Structure 1
Amino acid sequence: MTKINIIPLSGIRESGKNLFVVEVDNDIFVLDCGLRYPENELLGIDTIIPDFTYLKENANRVAGVFLTHGHPDAIGALPYFLEEIQAPVFGTKLTIELAKLNVHRYEATKRFKEFHVIDEFTEIDFGSTVISFFRTTHSIPDSVGISLKTAEGNIVYTGDFKFDQSASASYKTDFARLAEIGREGVLALLSTSSNAENQQSVASELQIADEVYDTILYWEGRIVVACVASNLQRVQQVIDASYRSNRKIVLTGQDFGKIIRTAMKLGKLTLPDENLFITQKEMKKYRPEELVILETGRMGEPIRALQKMAKGTHRTLKIQEGDLVYITTTPTIAMETVVAKTEDIIYRAGGTVKNISDNLVVSGHANANDLQLMLNLMQPKYLIPVQGEYRQLAAHANLAKQLGYQANQVIIAGKGDVLSYQKGELVLNGAVPAENVMIDGKGIGDIGNIVLRDRKVLSEDGIFVAVVTISRREKKIISSPQITSRGFVYVKASRDLIRESAELVQSIVETHLAEDGFDWGNLKQDIRDQLSRYLFEQTRRRPVILPVIMEASGRKGKKY
């Protein structure tokens, strides 16, 4: 019997950061290599990537990385992966070009070249496994699903998808190929779950295009459109609607230029008029009703840019009286509060807000009916819901049970779980490391829970610094304790608290100096403990306490 392990290293019980491992005999196949952007509580963290520990330990067995589409949740972690593990990367033409942009701007991988372009007709024979691809519909062109053909049946990973009968050629699903894979026999289906709770019909892209056009055509003023840069389908709709409405487009957003140039070069984004785009300096030549400002960026960035425009802190643009702010991307649950606050700020600035989801159910992801149709086409022996929070995975599991699947045929795995095919059954067989790896500036994985906890405390209760200079030889304090506080209390209004804190520190230091066995570590810890108790009693707050002990030695002091 062929040895098969399926390991969701990440992208499960969370949104984004997709990376799924399939082991067939001695080969390891990596499906997607994405990142996710942090929620607000991860203070200062730029991005979060998967834990590559298991793959690094088995680097010689990694046959390749196989990408489903060009969004950050599928390709964003590639530079960090390729820095550790040299493996070929496979994807469609647009996906590979976007992956190259991502990989080559990272210093450690700027010379990586082993990219391979595939399409829906490609088959790659690895001996015990044959990998092929099938076209899917998503919000970016050239999206595919992946099928791994083994002696025990196909293992299929859908990637992000939805079904849209009116999709254009670059976005059209290959239903015939899906049915063919299903007839061959599917052992396990790894299917996206991010929209599994939605029972409503999702609007077709033709309906959305009409909605975008009507909005842009009939507004009698300037329009600011907020859109995620990698949602090329929405960008195309805005371009087409602006052209038909005789409006010029002003581009903003840092990531958009390279993405749009790449998509246009490959014919995945069409420009009906070469003079459609204008610079921000040229805006003053046009009346407000002749302009569309397209604000793009990573997930969440367009919303933050809108806030700056409304507050007047944006580097070049400002929301004006009569502006329409058109939010064309449905926010995640985590972003809903931020969007609501942004809308309030925009209205205060004199603008008006319209969300594309006000009139339509909009999503690039499969709803409940789509997921059940995929199950019916594939007829897998096992369903492994992926790409979603636990409640979404559970909703997907319930959809399968409505089709007659038994509880033991639907596996809601955890990150790092090893699912092994043994004696005709897929069973849990241990786990591998699968922690979150956080990126902060140039630091990769050097930010842990303790640092995050300190950042959280600093953001909530501030810092309290006590500086004192001593002479161990003379066993006395040379300079009285000086107290500095930031983000804890207003010093001028808390003179008594500061004075009593200084007296407490002086008492602690004097006690330690009088002892025979003086220890720097014990002194600093004692200051932290006693000062922390005192400050909590007085304020019910727990700031970060930083004791700084200076030792006088001749004319210079040593700091501890």
Structure 2
Amino acid sequence: MAKQRLRVIPLGGAGEVGRNMWVVEYGDDIVILDCGVMFPDADMLGVDLVLPDITYLREKTDHIRGILLTHGHEDHIGAVPHLIADLGFPPIYGTKLTLGLLGNRLREHRLHDKVTTVQINERVPFQVGQFNVEAFHIAHSIPDAVGFAITTPAGLLVYLTDWKLDHTPVDGRPTDLEKIAELGNRKPLVLVTDCVRVESKGYTPSEATVGEAFDNIFATAPGRIIVATFASNISRVQQVIDSAEAYGRKVMLAGRSMETNARIAFELGYLRADESTIIRPHEMSAYPDEEIAIVCTGSQGEPMSALNRMANRDYPNVKIKPGDTVVLSATPIPGNEVSVNKVINNLFKLGADVIYGPEARVHVSGHAAQEELKLVLALLRPSYIVPFHGDYRHLMLYRKLATTIGAVPDSERVLLAEGGTIMEFSPGFGKITGKAPVGYIYVDGTTVGDVGNVVVRDRQLLAKDGMLIVVVSIDSATGQLVAGPDVVSRGFVYMRQSQDLIEATKETVRAALANRNGSNPVDAAYINRKIRDVVSEFLYRETRRRPMVLPMVMEV
């Protein structure tokens, strides 16, 4: 890297939604922006979380001066406990609520005492290596969210993620447009910005519209009200509390992460409620249904979430019944639609009235729409732009939008990055110069990185066509078949109803082994491959399916 150029690399979050992590590098100094997780796609079978790939940083841990966190959502802080040790335990900078939520994650992983955290204040600059950093407030669906203006020797970089221009946010603190305009006067070299709602015209509705919808529901619901949302959506929890208090209801928090995040937010002053409003599960029986409201996890249909368990009559403290009103205050993440619809169906079957979808106005996005994106571009007027936090189509549409309004002189100044794209910037220069190795790092149970793409492909194959085990015993001296073949099917065919196919498979194996020259030494590996090849070919010819064939060769 040329010493006079600023290097910017996404290790996650570019060309995708989730696992946000950016490297900003100049000379021997590196600062990391966010460190989040992504929830797995439907075809990532058995995977719990997907992490950024830090291969690029493994030989540079001595140069990492800090990690800057914008806000407390999982796609921005969730990977810290999994990766912080491999990054060399650099100091972590964040606002009070962000560090509070992160601290709980670190305690769960027994890392709290090993990590240095630094609380930052908006508009109070601080130094990280040779970078001068200014945090400024942005409106999002969680309080205490910030953007970063990073002054480097090459120029000013503005990192603006997960924001919108909400003039009536729940916490009363809109995006700091004054600061953004001031940054524009300083002629930013590069803007790195969220673009996921570039397809949406106009402005993103204010969080206040959700409060109005909640008030209407609380005014008319005959029985209990159950609101499902993300545990990290602190602003939405506050709106439920506000409506509950206005209409004389007590609030019970359901779901471990919901209880934990709410406790932290209460302790730090980001949630407020009358002393008697929040009740414990065992206290609900003391109040009639029309005086109860429940805030719970499960808006994405997660299998073990509180709402999913309620929908399956498996939650110990809440049994869904006629008269209940269930509100899904979230939009399904792509890939979760089937799970969410199943929960909704089960809730209806149990007699609940379920309120969901955009028409109900019980959820608004925390991301900027077209007119907001245009306004910020007009205020900042950066020399170069790197859109992210969106699929590739979002990046292309953002480039078109920025070019159409004249925010940049030509489309080449909007760089379309994907995971690992190396971009370098200096005054009058901004180009993609290389590619860092970036792949998916999977969390499966308690293991990180042990499950790779090969394992996931095997799981996909097993889920699609099942498996067939072929067991044979051969004479170790002659290689002749002594016993078997025995065939076991799992997920391929039901053996009792497919005896003809099973017998034909056995005959195929016998014929293949009978053609061996018995005078040659026994090669178990060769026999394994032979059985796998002939059985796979036979089964595809007969069924047009490709189960995983696992030979088991025993020498006797």
1:441 aligned partner: 445
199-208 vs 214-223, which moves further: 199-208
CA distance in 2, matches of 1:512, 1:321: 70
**Deviation (angstroms), 1:430:** 1.0
184-193 vs 293-302, which moves further: 293-302
**Residues 550 and 90 of structure 1: is their aligned pair in 2 closer, same or farther, counting only changes over 3 Å?**
same
**Deviation (angstroms), 1:168:** 4.8
The one-letter code sitting in structure 1 at the alignment partner of 2:161 is G
User: Which structure 2 residues correspond to residues 237-252 of structure 1 after superposition, within 5 A?
Assistant: 237-252=239-254
2:92 aligned partner: 89
Q: Is the 8 A contact 2:420 2:436 kept in 1?
A: yes
The one-letter code sitting in structure 2 at the alignment partner of 1:28 is I
1:551 aligned partner: 555
Q: Is the 8 A contact 1:145 1:159 kept in 2?
A: yes
Out of 168, 172, 178, the position equivalent to 2:180 is 178
412-421 vs 27-36, which moves further: 412-421
CA distance in 2, matches of 1:444, 1:424: 41
1:555 aligned partner: none
2:230 aligned partner: 228
The one-letter code sitting in structure 2 at the alignment partner of 1:93 is K
Out of 355, 371, 374, the position equivalent to 1:372 is 374
1:319 aligned partner: 320
2:220 aligned partner: 218
**Residues 359 and 256 of structure 1: is their aligned pair in 2 closer, same or farther, counting only changes over 3 Å?**
closer
**Deviation (angstroms), 1:451:** 1.2
2:415 corresponds to 1:414: no
Q: Is the 8 A contact 2:142 2:234 kept in 1?
A: yes
Q: Is the 8 A contact 1:471 1:477 kept in 2?
A: yes
Q: Is the 8 A contact 2:138 2:163 kept in 1?
A: yes
**Deviation (angstroms), 1:151:** 3.9
The one-letter code sitting in structure 2 at the alignment partner of 1:473 is A
1:557 aligned partner: none
Out of 14, 25, 28, the position equivalent to 1:12 is 14
CA distance in 2, matches of 1:464, 1:314: 38
CA distance in 2, matches of 1:252, 1:367: 32
**Residues 483 and 63 of structure 1: is their aligned pair in 2 closer, same or farther, counting only changes over 3 Å?**
same
Instruction: Give structure 1 stretches of 5+ with no counterpart.
Output: 553-560
2:452 corresponds to 1:451: no
Q: Is the 8 A contact 1:326 1:356 kept in 2?
A: no
Q: CA RMSD in A?
A: 2.1
**Deviation (angstroms), 1:506:** 3.0
**Deviation (angstroms), 1:503:** 2.5
Number of matched pairs: 550
Deviations 1:383-437 (A, max 9, x none): 1101111111122222212221221221111211111125621011111112111
The one-letter code sitting in structure 2 at the alignment partner of 1:90 is Y
The one-letter code sitting in structure 1 at the alignment partner of 2:414 is V
Q: Is the 8 A contact 1:202 1:363 kept in 2?
A: yes
CA distance in 2, matches of 1:377, 1:492: 71
1:199 aligned partner: 201
CA distance in 1, matches of 2:130, 2:451: 40
The one-letter code sitting in structure 1 at the alignment partner of 2:109 is Y
Q: Among all aligned residue pairs of Structure 1 and Structure 2, give the percentage whose two residues are the same amino acid.
A: 35
CA distance in 2, matches of 1:200, 1:348: 38
Instruction: Give structure 2 stretches of 5+ with no counterpart.
Output: none
User: Which structure 2 residues correspond to residues 479-494 of structure 1 after superposition, within 5 A?
Assistant: 479-494=483-498
**Deviation (angstroms), 1:133:** 0.7
**Deviation (angstroms), 1:303:** 9.5
The one-letter code sitting in structure 1 at the alignment partner of 2:446 is K
TM-score normalized with structure 1 length: 0.93
2:103 corresponds to 1:100: yes
1:42 aligned partner: 44
1:166 aligned partner: 168
Q: Is the 8 A contact 2:228 2:326 kept in 1?
A: yes
TM-score normalized with structure 2 length: 0.94
The one-letter code sitting in structure 1 at the alignment partner of 2:505 is S
CA distance in 2, matches of 1:144, 1:305: 30
- 3-state SS of paired residue (1:334): coil
1:558 aligned partner: none
Q: Is the 8 A contact 2:400 2:411 kept in 1?
A: no
**Residues 126 and 207 of structure 1: is their aligned pair in 2 closer, same or farther, counting only changes over 3 Å?**
closer
2:471 aligned partner: 467
CA distance in 2, matches of 1:217, 1:60: 58
The one-letter code sitting in structure 2 at the alignment partner of 1:249 is V
